Amino acid sequence: MIVVTAWTSVVSKAKVFKSGAITSINVLIWYYILNIFVNDINNWKLLVLYAAGCSVGTMLTTYFFQVQKKKARAVKKLKSVKKVYGHSNEGATV
């Protein structure tokens, strides 16, 4: 589900090339997964494990994108504060 979550992110940002590339990867993965399920259709444990993996992958990827977004907002806010007050800490030693 990492692939699907990444796909959703790039599509919502209208990144045409990236969304196309991720879609191709997603189709190949689904082809492989469907082949496994069809060949072992009675293995419900495999399905449950796959569903759990998809859930965890989605949660972790969503959290990662959320953290990235918060970091970007914090950097943008810090830059705007520096611009307003006209000073920078570049070259300062700690």
Is 94 inside a domain boundary? no
Q: What is the pLDDT of residues 57-83, one digit of tens each?
A: 888 888 988 999 899 999 888 888 777
Domain that holds residue 30: 2-85
Is 56 inside a domain boundary? yes
Is 90 inside a domain boundary? no
Distances (CA, A) of 58 to 37, 38, 51, 79, 94: 21, 24, 11, 32, 40
| C-alpha–C-alpha distance, residues 54 and 71, integer Å | 26
Is 42 inside a domain boundary? yes
Question: Would you say the pTM of this structure is higher than 0.75?
Answer: no
Is 92 inside a domain boundary? no
| Distance from the first to the final alpha carbon of the chain | 43
Listed in sequence order, the residues at least 6 apart from 5 whose beta carbon sits closer than 8 Å to its beta carbon are 57, 58, 61, 62, 65
Q: How many folded domains does the chain comprise?
A: 1
Average pLDDT of the chain to the nearest whole number: 83
